[in-house]
Amino acid sequence: MRRVTTNSPFETRIGYSRAVACDGWIFVAGTTGYDYATMEMPQDVVQQCRNALATIDGALAELGASLRDVVRVSYILPDPDDWPACWPVTRAAFGDAPPAATMMSARLQAPEMRIEIEVTARQPSGR
């Protein structure tokens, strides 16, 4: 089993890994839109979506995978009306390998968080 961490202070405070690889599967924790280089959260939901997907892609890359290997994605947004603005970003991120997906509306940990994304991926064979 391999674990990936990022610079998120939440991982240490709460006690979780950004991603865990086990038996050919990769489980990426719910990821919000922080820019972990600056620890700032953009106000725009679209930028938060981009940041979350970039963090997820980085965690997958550390484990030899990419967004093309994602088989399941869950999107959580406090305001479902924000969701359509994110569609072009998610479509571009997953391209011609779209995973099974669910969007849920629920309150997130902090009011500035407008989207959280969680994925499950399959590691490519031989890696």
Name the strand (E) or helix (H) holding 92: helix 83-94
| pTM of the full structure | 0.94
Query: Where residue 8 falls among pLDDT bands split at 50, 70, 90?
Result: confident
The overall average pLDDT reported for the chain is 94
Query: Where residue 39 falls among pLDDT bands split at 50, 70, 90?
Result: confident
3-state secondary structure of 113: coil
What number does CATH give the domain 2-122? 3.30.1330.40
- Whether the predicted pLDDT of 18 surpasses 90: yes
DSSP labels, 27-62: EEEEEE--BTTTTB--S-HHHHHHHHHHHHHHHHHH
Residue 46: which of 81, 106, 78, 87 has the closest Cα?
A: 87
- pLDDT given at position 26: 98
Residue 34: which of 109, 100, 98 has the closest Cα?
A: 109
- Whether the predicted pLDDT of 7 surpasses 90: no
